[in-house]
Amino acid sequence: MHMTREDVRAFLNEDHSTVVSIYISTEPKAYQSERNSLRFRSALVDTTKQLEKLGFRRPDICSLVSPLRDLLDDEQFWLHQEHGLALFCSDSTLETVRLPFAPAESVRVADAPYVVPLLEGLETGERHALLAVSRNAVRLFTCTRDAIEEIDTGDLRMPRSLSDSMRYDDLQKPESLNHPTTGPGRASSGTGPGGRGDRRHGFHGHGESEVQEKIYVAAYLHQVDAALHTRLHHLGSPPLILAAVDYVSAIYRGVSKYRALTTETIEGNPDVMRAEELHRRAGPILESRWRAKVAEARSRFHERAAHGLATSKLPEIIDAADAGRVDTLLVKKGASIWGRFDLSSREVTLAKPAGANSELNDLMDLAARRTLANHGTVLILDPDTMIEGHAGAILRF
């Protein structure tokens, strides 16, 4: 599955006594399933060792890791991977998330899932939707800086082209948009060209015919936009990048009700662009939007810090995240600080991890989990874009 931030929040709200979190790198479309499953086999050995050190009995270990072991023999599962894989196994669920990037490989056993590496993919590789639309075709994709995937829209009640929209009896009729009363499939006087029964639609003239063409294209794009809303909502309402020629892009922006439509456009005829070409052209847009998001967060952090509404002090961050006061959490990529957080005293104690220790928490991950659970945003930043320290929190109050 492709996990959204809402999926992560839902998973964090579930009750878990023990969660095994595994991150491994994988090869996309491997020719031999063993190339991917071997890395997973090694992670399973590490999982068993950690559970033994934590004092789990052999029958309990076998029961917990049984769903993971079952994956070893699933050849099709290992043949169809991306660049990385995250697995979260508890006594009640097993979640597998294909990642568009290769994570740092790790195995952790705790009372909650280890989410910071996953957030790196959700944030620095933030998923966008990409709509390639023309008079002749409609294609919807999701993409990150690392990968692109076409989304099946075959189940949507939506025209697939301008000519297809003209055959929809229940589409929005031209007159409802103050259009001329003659239009696709409507009667006009005479029995010759353009008369009753003539369904040919050629827009090659000037003046009124050009106006009519824009009217028909606008009706077609309006229906496409309306039909896509539900599918985009199910994808987490991602930012939507448009790939279209200039006049189609302008009309689409005029009729679209989707709030997350980006200002940037992939220009040119998308009909001649394969998915790989669309992804290549989307790359600079995705990179620019991510850098702008980071710059805005850094600027907001320093501005709010001047008014006491941002902090880089870890005890204050942990307390605020747990209390739901963190609006945006900035975490340095790869940072782990271990310790304890006492819920009653609200005190944070730092400690060095000594092997498997169920009493210690990765405080960076704890802050991220609590921020997400309280509907905040977590950004994982590279060292060169990070503010000073390992973490920073922009507070709501």
Q: What is the CATH number of the domain that holds 117?
A: 3.30.960.10
pLDDT value of position 356: 58
Boundary of a domain, candidates 104, 125, 146: 125
The answer to whether residue 17 sits within a structural domain is: yes
Q: What is the pTM of this model?
A: 0.76
| In a domain? residue 296 | no
Tell me the two tokens of residue 356.
Answer: 């498997």
Write down the pLDDT at residue 15. 74
Final residue of a domain: which of 125, 147, 182?
Answer: 125
Check whether residue 74 and residue 154 sit in a common domain: no
Q: Is the pLDDT of residue 254 over 50?
A: yes
Whether pLDDT at 14 is above 90? no
In a domain, 299, yes or no: no
With a cut of 90, say whether residue 91 has pLDDT above it: no
pLDDT tens sequence across 133-172: 999 999 999 998 878 889 999 999 999 999 998 875 444 4
Whether residue 90 is predicted with pLDDT greater than 80 in this model: the reply is yes
CB-neighbour burial class of residue 126 (10 A; exposed 0-12, middle 13-18, buried 19+): middle
pLDDT for the residue 284: 96
Residue 36 contacts residue 30 (beta carbons within 8 Å): yes
Contacts of 72 by beta carbon, 8 Å cutoff, 6+ apart: 37, 40, 41, 44
Indicate the SS3 state at residue 202.
coil
Measure the CA–CA gap between 110 and 289, rounded to whole angstroms: 35
* Domain boundary residue, one of 77, 105, 125: 125
Do 246 and 132 lie in one domain? The reply is yes
In a domain, 212, yes or no: yes
Give percent helix, percent strand, percent coil of the chain, each to the nearest 5: 40, 20, 40
30-34, 229-233, 235-239, 332-336: the lowest-pLDDT one: 30-34
Same domain? For 132 and 277 the reply is yes
Q: Are 388 and 140 in contact (CB under 8 A)?
A: no
Q: How far is CA 355 from CA 41, 263, 338, 340, in A?
A: 21, 50, 12, 15
pLDDT in tens, 374-387: 999 999 998 999 99
Please state, in angstroms and rounded to a whole number, the distance separating the CA atoms of residues 137 and 347: 59
Would residue 252 count as lying in a domain?
yes
- The verdict on residue 44 lying in a domain is yes
Residue 372: which CATH number?
A: 3.30.1330.30
DSSP code at position 243 = E
Q: Is the pLDDT of residue 193 over 80?
A: no
Q: Which domain holds residue 267?
A: 128-290
Count structural domains, the chain: 3
d(CA 374, CA 325): 8
Q: What is the DSSP letter of 272?
A: G
Kindly state the DSSP code that residue 174 receives in the 8-state scheme. Answer: G
Residues 281 and 375 in one domain: no
